[in-house]
Amino acid sequence: MFVFNCSHEMALAANRPGYVPPRRIQQMEHDLALLPLIWQEDDEAVDVWGWNLSVREQLRRKGVPVETMPTDDELALWRQFAHRSFAAGYLQDFLAQIVSDSLVGHAMRFVRSLEEVETPADETVIAKIPFSSSGRGNVVGRLNDANFEAQVLRLIAKHGGVLIDRFYKKVLDFALEYEVKPDGTIVFLGYSVFEASTEGRYGGNVVDSQPNLKARITALLGSDVTPIADTHCQLLRHYLSGRYRGYVGIDLMVVEADGKRKVHPCVEMNLRMNMGIAAMRLYEKLMLISRIVEEGATYEQCLQRKNLGFLRFLLGTDFNRFHFEDLNHLLRSSMRLPLSPMRDSGFQAFLQSGRLSITFS
């Protein structure tokens, strides 16, 4: 059983068992409840998009034994790791590990007053509330603008502080995906490349092979990203081994600064499942489908495989028109491959032109 609680960050901010998300987010969780079929392998396991007091209480009411879920102390600690103040401090430790003029982010701070801001007042900055995702709660402006300053002060008063960072000219959004195992081992899962607006609103993930994703990052950066991935692995081991278990996604950016391409090595940290890992798992399953269809498998035979349950969303459509036997063709196709139930209105996940996206109609 997997719970797609995309209200996770909102629940972390509320920090109470009885939290109920806004109606629109409830609709999103309802409409995309089967999205985990993309990545879930074990129907018997209980897993969630992100652990918090609210989702644990929901599962407890459904009969899931409390002893199989994170404790109060664990949830409190994981909430601290998910807070943007942790990411800000983590970034500064990272920048101390790799001293290079090819890295940016030195001014990123979590502040509880405007006096703590280290960027000049006439420089464009982005402010982010402590718990948010997909760009919600982000505001951009200059602190010498009275309206923007007042907006930031209201956020600080409401949330106890905000993360402030320079607003960079972005070239590429990408992420490094990790998993912290119960024994403390840090596993590097791979790279993800995604699209987001200038303010950080999520637009979709590229579905492709790991070599191709890494090549895309390297081509735009002009250097190998492996040392950055390795340094993150070392720091995650220092901070999280034995203290957290689950997925960690670290968002990075290739930016243009001082006339050259540079990397912001930790724009955000997500201690939960994320769309980057979903895109990785989707590519792996599409590869499997491509292989077995090329060998002559039909739609019904594909559905018999336990880990290809998401194909049920193609029920009533022409399975063959998606050309599953040619993965490259499938990823280039402008046709929408549904990855959640098709509805007249509401949220839907789909693959189109090599992008894993979510839309609201």
Query: What letter would DSSP give residue 221?
Result: H
- What does the alpha-carbon distance between residue 52 and residue 12 come to, in Å, rounded to a whole number? 6
Q: Domains of the chain: which residue ranges?
A: 2-81, 83-104+168-273, 109-166, 301-360
With contact defined as beta carbons under 8 Å apart, do 190 and 210 qualify? yes
Is the confidence at residue 136, as pLDDT, over 90? no
Residue 217 · residue 254 · CB < 8 Å:
yes
As a whole number of angstroms, the distance between CA 68 and CA 267 comes to 33
Task: Dump pLDDT digits (tens) for 5-31.
Answer: 999 999 999 999 999 999 999 999 999
| Arithmetic mean of pLDDT, 111-122 | 93
Whether residue 220 has pLDDT greater than 70: yes
Topology at the third CATH level for domain 109-166: Dna Ligase; domain 1 (3.30.1490)
Contacts of 80 (CB under 8 A, 6+ apart): 86
Q: Residue 175's pLDDT band (boundaries 50, 70, 90)?
A: very high
Q: Does the pLDDT at position 213 exceed 70?
A: yes
Cα–Cα distance, 180 to 93 (Å, whole number): 19
Q: How confident is the model at residue 199 (pLDDT cuts 50, 70, 90)?
A: confident
Residue 250 carries which side chain, given as an amino acid letter?
A: I
Counting beta carbons within 10 angstroms of the beta carbon of residue 22, is it exposed (0 to 12), middle (13 to 18) or buried (19 or more)? exposed
For the chain, how are helix, strand and coil distributed in percent, rounded to 5? 40, 25, 35
DSSP per-residue codes, 229-260 = HHHHHHHHHHHHTTT--EEEEEEEEEEEETTE
Q: Does 361 score more than 70 pLDDT?
A: no
The pLDDT of residue 292 is above 80: yes
Segment 136-150 shows an average pLDDT of: 94
Of 312, 320, 316, 313, which is closest to residue 296 (Cα–Cα)? 320
Per-residue model confidence (pLDDT) at position 42: 66
Q: Tell me the CATH number for domain 83-104+168-273.
A: 3.30.470
E strand or H helix at 10:
helix 8-14
Residue range 30-39, pLDDT digits in tens: 999 999 999 9
Give me the residues paired with residue 141 across strands: 125
Q: What is the pLDDT of residues 44-66, one digit of tens each?
A: 678 899 999 999 999 999 999 99
| pLDDT at residue 43 tops 70 | no
290-312: average pLDDT: 92
Percent of the chain at pLDDT > 70 equals 99
What is the rounded CA–CA span in Å between residue 189 and residue 179?
Answer: 7
The span from the CA of 269 to the CA of 273, in Å, is 11
- pTM score: 0.95
pLDDT band at 343 (very low <50, low <70, confident <90, very high): confident
For the cut 90, the answer to whether the pLDDT of residue 4 exceeds it is yes
Phi then psi for 93, rounded to 5 degrees?
A: -65, -40
In this chain, the answer to whether the domains covering 83-104+168-273 and 109-166 adopt an identical fold is: no
If you ran DSSP here, which 8-state letter would residue 157 be given?
H
Residue 156: predicted pLDDT = 97
